[in-house]
A and B are shown apart, each in its own frame.
Chain A
Amino acid sequence: MEKTVNHKAWFLVLPVLILVAFSAVIPLMTVVNYSVQDTFGNNVFFWAGLDWFEQLLASDRMWNALQRQLVFSGIILAIEVPLGIFVALNMPKKGFWASVCLVLMSLPLLIPWNVVGTIWQIFARVDIGLLGYTLRSLGINYNYTQDFFAAWTTVIVMDVWHWTSLVALLAYAGLQSIPDAYYQAAKIDQASRWAVFRYIELPKMSGVLMIAILLRFMDSFMIYTEPFVVTGGGPGNATTFLSIDLVKMALGQFDLGPAAAFSIMYFLVILTISYVFYIVMTNLDKRDGTQ
């Protein structure tokens, strides 16, 4: 059937465009304006050209934050994706317990970020927190406010606790869509459990897993609230990820120029990842459409 082309429909998205203009485009333009200027307050600005960009690119601060960010995203992906798949494989396929598992798995996803941070901040405290106090009583030197390793472990475990269920739920949805005939064929061929996973389940899950990986990468790349509440970016700068560093620069030090330049570079990276995400999603749709 021939599709009708009517460009007047674009007017229907006008309200959204106006909303986005006020909430995103105008602030972004202001950030671009700030990034080439310097200010000492009172809305008085001095032209600085590309100095802030040059300074940031040459300084270690942004690169270190980016490095920490990449390490963090890498670690949580390496844990959450296999763990999520493992959980999904072991969840009941149907019946009462399937529903119970689904509800339980979605619970952490419903908790707001700052509440997750507060929960873990208290949970891990050595004086009153269950986890911190227990570890301390067992003779393990654990203090996330002073020890680099403990701070990283806490932030990573917190993220795994919060987001593994997202991967698990997506993988579970992928598993549910596999027709029984595939498993029956595998049984006839006397395929091992590993072979079933490798040649049936994994290929059928690849689409949703791709979405899960990209979602988790993007989300963790922009993480702010949880580490901010738990460690505040410390000890020292140990858990100062990109967005935490950016807020420190913009609001803590009120260095609007450098912070704006930082924001633009951060935005470009996020934009690139989002575009890759969009391309992968549309290509998956096309692939599913042609199958």
Chain B
Amino acid sequence: MSWMAWTWPTMAFFAIIAATLAVFTMLAIRYPETPRRGILRMETTRGDRLFIGLLSMAFINLAWLGLTDITQWAGLAISLLFLAVVFKTV
């Protein structure tokens, strides 16, 4: 696996993503849900909201990195807040 040039942070990143996917798969099997309509006026399931949230998180972090000099952890915190907002409202 050395050719993949793994590092601890990237490994942790993928582990978190994989764990999130696993948890959401479990949730979908154990507690099936009906799609709901939120502020985007389209039907979304838990998985849809996770996808929208994660994608937005990536863009928020990139914007934070490009526009400010403040520590990236602050950007991450804001994006996590946004993820919560997405789960609540979308």
**Chain A residues proximal to chain B, CB less than 8 Å:** 5, 7, 26, 29-30, 32-34, 36-37, 39, 43, 45, 47, 50, 53-54, 57-58, 265, 268, 271-272, 275, 279, 283
Within 8 Å CB of A37, what residues of B? 5, 7
Between A and B, 23 residue pairs with Cβ closer than 8 Å are A5-B32, A7-B29, A29-B14, A30-B3, A30-B4, A32-B10, A32-B14, A33-B4, A33-B6, A33-B7, A36-B10, A37-B5, A39-B5, A45-B5, A50-B65, A57-B62, A57-B66, A268-B58, A271-B55, A272-B55, A275-B52, A275-B55, A283-B42
Q: Is B72 an interface residue (CB 8 A)?
A: yes
Proximity bits, B15-50, A CB within 8 Å = 1, else 0: 000000000000001001000000000100000000
Give 16 A-B pairs besides A30-B4, A43-B5 with Cβ atoms closer than 8 angstroms: A5-B32, A26-B4, A29-B4, A29-B10, A29-B14, A32-B13, A33-B7, A33-B10, A34-B5, A43-B3, A47-B7, A53-B62, A53-B65, A57-B66, A275-B51, A275-B52
Task: Write the nearest CB–CB distance from A60 to chain B, whole angstroms.
Answer: 13
Q: Using a Cβ cutoff of 8 Å, how many contacts connect chains A and B?
A: 53
When C-beta atoms are compared, the residue in chain B nearest to A57 turns out to be B66
Range class of the B interface residue count? 20 to 34
Task: Write the nearest CB–CB distance from A194 to chain B, whole angstroms.
Answer: 32
Within 8 Å CB of B51, what residues of A? 275
B10–A50 CB distance below 8 A: no
- The answer for the CA separation of A39 and B4 in the assembled complex, in Å, is 12
Within 8 Å CB of A45, what residues of B? 5, 7
Within 8 Å CB of B72, what residues of A? 50
Within 8 Å CB of A32, what residues of B? 10, 13-14
- The answer for the CA separation of A283 and B48 in the assembled complex, in Å, is 14
- The answer for the CA separation of A271 and B59 in the assembled complex, in Å, is 12
Proximity bits, B57-74, A CB within 8 Å = 1, else 0: 011001001100000100
- The answer for the CA separation of A57 and B69 in the assembled complex, in Å, is 13
Task: Write the nearest CB–CB distance from B62 to chain A, whole angstroms.
Answer: 7
Within 8 Å CB of B65, what residues of A? 50, 53-54, 57
- The answer for the CA separation of A58 and B55 in the assembled complex, in Å, is 21
Task: Write the nearest CB–CB distance from A41 to chain B, whole angstroms.
Answer: 12
- The answer for the CA separation of A45 and B3 in the assembled complex, in Å, is 10
Interface centre among B9, B32, B51 (most CB of A within 10 A): B9
- The answer for the CA separation of A124 and B10 in the assembled complex, in Å, is 48
Within 8 Å CB of A5, what residues of B? 32
Contact of A36 among B9, B32, B55, B58 (CB under 8 A): B9
Q: Is B89 an interface residue (CB 8 A)?
A: no
- The answer for the CA separation of A49 and B14 in the assembled complex, in Å, is 16
- The answer for the CA separation of A26 and B52 in the assembled complex, in Å, is 23
Task: Write the nearest CB–CB distance from A272 to chain B, whole angstroms.
Answer: 6
When C-beta atoms are compared, the residue in chain B nearest to A265 turns out to be B62
Task: Write the nearest CB–CB distance from B50 to chain A, whole angstroms.
Answer: 12
A36–B7 CB distance below 8 A: yes
Contact of A54 among B4, B42, B58, B66 (CB under 8 A): B66
Within 8 Å CB of A57, what residues of B? 62, 65-66
- The answer for the CA separation of A57 and B66 in the assembled complex, in Å, is 5
- The answer for the CA separation of A271 and B52 in the assembled complex, in Å, is 11
